Structure 1
């Protein structure tokens, strides 16, 4: 009897959609990171290692339905309420039913598109640090994240 050794296939990914791990979201055009402070204000800002890491690190948690919940180091979830984007206390459980707190992470050739499950609106960076959601996908770098 001969035993064949089968090498394990390792797949390395960069960027988001890591499912159940800490990540950062950096806007392709502005270079700003998606941040949220402990009061719930979401904006784009520069990230500096060791400084306010709870503001710009997100735990990317799969909900088991192709959507993800993003919560930051302050334990607050990213919410898309049409044009408004902010953080609030997370609904309980991995498969929580608050679809305003769920995001589809869609890979494109220019970065990740974050689409809110409830509204279908796309996370957008206005380029001055303002973060909002846009009703249309204009396939531009303001709406792409890495």
Structure 2
């Protein structure tokens, strides 16, 4: 009986630990695996890949991860803007970044892969991509390459 109880309590804990997302709610940075550039945003809504220097414009390259009940995350910056994926276009716009308060265009699944994190837009299913020299966009296919992986 005690052995059955031990197994019954261990299985739910195992299931919870294997479904963890990239992070708990908190500040993160997203660095592209191939280019080494960080996902950054400016106060006017533009998004690009750029070099980040700690202490310099931290508002632009740090993102606040807020988990939603559907398993997605809001990526908001210090200006109160959320990362948006509108098919190929990626930009920021004003949002209410609290849990479950954003629309699906502003939500991203953070999917762990063997080569880094894949950021998949909730509305479109498109994958966040870096063209290699600072251009950020979303791609309709997951080509499992380092341009589409973030750390």
TM-score range, shorter chain: 0.7 to 0.9
Aligned positions, number: 131
Find the counterpart in structure 1 of residue 140 from structure 2: 135
Partner Cα distance (1:19, 1:116) in 2: 18
Aligned-pair distance for 1:93?
A: 3.7
Find the counterpart in structure 1 of residue 75 from structure 2: 70
TM-score of the superposed pair, with normalisation by structure 1: 0.87
The 5 Å alignment of 1:36-47 reads 36-47=41-52
Find the counterpart in structure 1 of residue 108 from structure 2: 103
Aligned-pair distance for 1:91?
A: 3.6
List alignment gaps of at least 5 residues for structure 1: 1-15
List alignment gaps of at least 5 residues for structure 2: 1-20
Question: Please, what is the CA RMSD of the aligned residues?
Answer: 1.1
Q: Does 1:94 align with 2:99?
A: yes
The 5 Å alignment of 1:43-62 reads 43-62=48-67
Partner Cα distance (1:55, 1:88) in 2: 13
SS at match of 2:105: helix
Structure 1 segments (4+ residues) deviating >2 Å: none
Q: Does 1:145 align with 2:145?
A: no
